[in-house]
């Protein structure tokens, strides 16, 4: 029997541009529409068998709370239907269902009556509720005097002590401290053992792995993944990485092309900023900053208008000026008139303006992001020139005007552009990966920008032979063959995580072990060998592998990551509890 059945459920909200439009529609008695429809949920279908636990994951705004509010009876669906078999106890938003002016005691009795309990029933449970919540004498104080942690302790204590058949928990446990959270999860496990049905929502992926028998992932009001908790959690991680990359690429999209490997750098303006003559405002000095374009950090020269940066540089034959201009996203809505970027060259006493461009990101969506340009300098070949980069405003309040010159260089063509099809189809590089596995290739979740990839992974025994079943205590070897698709000055990090069904068991990486993977050149294939004493309990485990770059500020750029791509088994002949065999010894002295 299913405790909860949901069929093509949908929830629509009306959005009004202003209170006036809402009032006009109200006056027209529905004859005039002044709203737009927003579907917070669409076509949601799933079933929860009685006695099981379903975890619901999703980013903020994905529809999780709306779904639980409908199942708890707080909201009515706009489409579809659902069935509930059993009494439901719900912990929704912080303090939901409680009255702030009532005391904790009064709220306990009010909630109990809503759940159909008599006063005698609540009396019998009241002592346990107060003990579990640890409110003590505060139980008789108004709820408005409670901290958020105290409120959630009371809400959870009541919800789990009203003898409900179904418990709905919506992210509330994140408010409690670590001790209370541990106590809550122990209580949830007791309810699972008692055959209760639980619907758990939160961002704690390890709780979903540990507590839930199945899970689903919501995004944009729709179910995009359903099934085993490990699979859903991995999809959730990939979604977060994709969204983070899309944020940077959407807000800092790059227009034009950056010169390729056929060019050599003759002079780097960012690196030589200290040699330039700079004129700027005292409040916003010209300085070097770092922005991220398509998951790659790049250095720019922050140049708040008005500013001038003048370099004295020799121009060699065949040279061009390569640079970018841009305004950082936080300033786009602050400066409707925009910023003007000019480049002037003074040669033999004559001043030429070789570049002039106005960016108005608030008025023109095409002006957002970074714009690359290439300007020939052949007119000045063989001469030393004064090159001035200038920014100026147009009457707006420029206190928020974060304009910058990006990765400026004088470059020179050294060879014709290559027509390497692997370069032109970068996303297709090294996709034919040889990986021993139990999972089929199509079920491996893999993501990253492919600047370097894991070409091959081998799980070996101590003799160097491939193996997927081990005895606890054996020494095993993970051997990685990686391929660099570009030159790296940075230190790459390669590592792994072992997981069981519920949680991460152990993981480490080359950075934590102080191993140097810097200076890797394009096409190189380093081999990384990791030796491990497999002191695990009996069970089935998975291997997750990844290559990344850890930038300053602990910003992680994922190059290649494979989730749970090798499944292996461990047999421990000793009786023990848990998944780590710590080789404990026991000594007894009889006195």
DSSP assignment of 409-436 equals: EEEEE-SPPP--HHHHTGGGTT---B--
Beta-carbon contacts of residue 399 (< 8 Å; ≥ 6 apart)? 283, 334
Q: Quick count: other Cβ atoms within 10 Å of Cβ 320? A: 19
Residue 392: CB atoms within 10 A of its CB come to: 15
pTM of the model: 0.55
Do the Cβ atoms of 556 and 510 come closer than 8 Å?
Answer: no
pLDDT given at position 46: 94
**Residues 413, 419, 420, 422, Cα dihedral to 10°:** 110
Non-local CB neighbours of 304 within 8 Å, separated by 6+ positions: 280, 281, 283, 284, 286, 391, 398, 401, 402, 403
pLDDT of residue 425: 31
What are the residue ranges in the chain where pLDDT is below 70? 93-97, 171-179, 242-253, 257, 283, 293-296, 330, 394-401, 415-444, 502
- Could you give the CA distance from residue 465 to residue 478 in angstroms, rounded to a whole number? 11
Measured CA to CA, the distance from residue 534 to residue 525 in angstroms comes to: 27
> Cis bond leading into 306, ω under 30°?
yes
Report the length, in residues, of the chain: 591
What distances in angstroms separate CA 334 from CA 327, 437, 490, one per listed residue?
A: 11, 53, 36
Identify the sign of the CA torsion 89, 91, 93, 99. Answer: positive
- CA dihedral angle for residue 459, residue 463, residue 469, residue 473, rounded to 10 degrees: -100
Which pLDDT belongs to residue 252?
59
Q: In the 8-state DSSP scheme, what is residue 330?
A: G
3-state helix, strand, coil in the chain (%, to 5): 25, 40, 35
**What are the structural domains of the chain?**
2-242 (3.40.50.300), 258-413 (2.60.120.260), 438-571 (2.70.50.60)
Tokens of 272: 């030589």
C-alpha–C-alpha distance, residues 268 and 259, integer Å: 14
Residue-level pLDDT at 223: 92
């Amino acid at each position: 029997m299913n405790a909860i059945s949901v069929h093509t459920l949908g929830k629509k909200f009306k959005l009004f541009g202003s209170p006036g439009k809402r009032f006009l529609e109200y006056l027209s008695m529905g004859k005039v529409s002044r709203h737009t429809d927003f579907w917070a949920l669409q076509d949601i279908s799933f079933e929860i068998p009685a006695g099981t636990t379903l975890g619901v994951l999703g980013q903020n705004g994905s529809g999780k709370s709306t779904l639980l509010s409908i199942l708890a009876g707080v909201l009515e669906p706009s489409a579809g239907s659902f069935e509930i078999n059993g009494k439901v106890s719900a912990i929704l938003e912080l303090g939901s269902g409680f009255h702030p002016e009532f005391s904790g005691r009064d709220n306990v009795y009010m909630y109990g009556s809503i759940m159909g309990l008599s006063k005698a029933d609540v009396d019998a449970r009241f002592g346990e509720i107060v003990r579990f919540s640890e409110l003590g004498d505060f139980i008789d104080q108004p709820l408005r005097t409670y901290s958020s942690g105290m409120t959630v302790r009371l809400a959870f204590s009541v919800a789990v002590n009203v003898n409900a058949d179904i418990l709905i928990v919506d992210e509330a446990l994140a408010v409690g401290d670590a001790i209370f959270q541990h106590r809550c999860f122990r209580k949830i496990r007791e309810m699972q053992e008692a055959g209760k049905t639980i619907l758990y929502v939160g961002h704690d992926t390890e709780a979903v792995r540990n507590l839930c028998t199945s899970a689903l992932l919501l995004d944009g009001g729709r179910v995009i993944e359903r099934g085993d908790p490990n699979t859903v959690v991995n999809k959730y991680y990939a979604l977060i990485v994709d969204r983070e990359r899309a944020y940077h690429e959407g807000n800092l999209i790059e227009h034009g092309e950056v010169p390729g490997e056929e060019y050599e750098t003759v002079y780097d303006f960012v690196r030589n900023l200290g040699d330039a003559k700079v004129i700027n405002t005292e409040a916003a000095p010209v300085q070097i900053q770092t922005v991220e374009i398509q998951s790659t950090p790049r250095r720019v020269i922050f140049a708040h208008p008005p500013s001038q940066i003048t370099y004295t540089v020799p121009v060699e034959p065949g040279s061009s000026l390569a640079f970018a201009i841009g305004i950082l996203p936080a300033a786009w809505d602050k400066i409707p008139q925009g910023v003007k970027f000019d480049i002037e060259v003074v040669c033999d006493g004559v001043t030429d303006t070789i570049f002039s461009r106005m960016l108005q990101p608030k008025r023109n969506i095409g002006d957002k992001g970074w714009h690359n340009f290439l300007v020939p300098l052949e007119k000045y070949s063989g001469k030393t020139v004064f090159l001035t980069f200038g920014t100026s405003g147009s009457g707006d309040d420029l206190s928020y005007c974060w304009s910058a010159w990006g990765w400026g260089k004088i470059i020179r063509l050294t060879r014709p552009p290559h027509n390497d099809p692997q370069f032109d189809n970068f996303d297709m590089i090294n996709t034919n990966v040889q990986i021993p596995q139990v999972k089929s290739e199509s079920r491996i979740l893999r993501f990253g920008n492919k600047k370097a990839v894991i070409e091959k992974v081998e799980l070996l025994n101590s003799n160097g032979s491939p193996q997927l079943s081990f005895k606890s205590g054996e020494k095993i070897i993970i051997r990685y063959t990686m391929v660099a698709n570009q030159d790296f000055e940075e230190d790459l990090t390669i590592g792994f995580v072992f997981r069981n069904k519920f949680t991460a068991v152990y993981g480490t990486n080359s950075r934590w072990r102080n191993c140097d993977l810097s200076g890797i050149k394009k096409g190189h294939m380093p081999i990384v060998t990791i030796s491990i004493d497999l002191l695990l309990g009996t069970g089935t485990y998975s291997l997750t592998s990844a290559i990344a770059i850890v930038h300053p500020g602990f910003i992680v750029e994922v190059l290649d990551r494979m989730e749970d791509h090798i499944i292996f088994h461990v047999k421990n002949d000793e009786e023990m509890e848990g998944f780590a065999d710590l080789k404990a010894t026991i000594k007894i002295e009889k006195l």
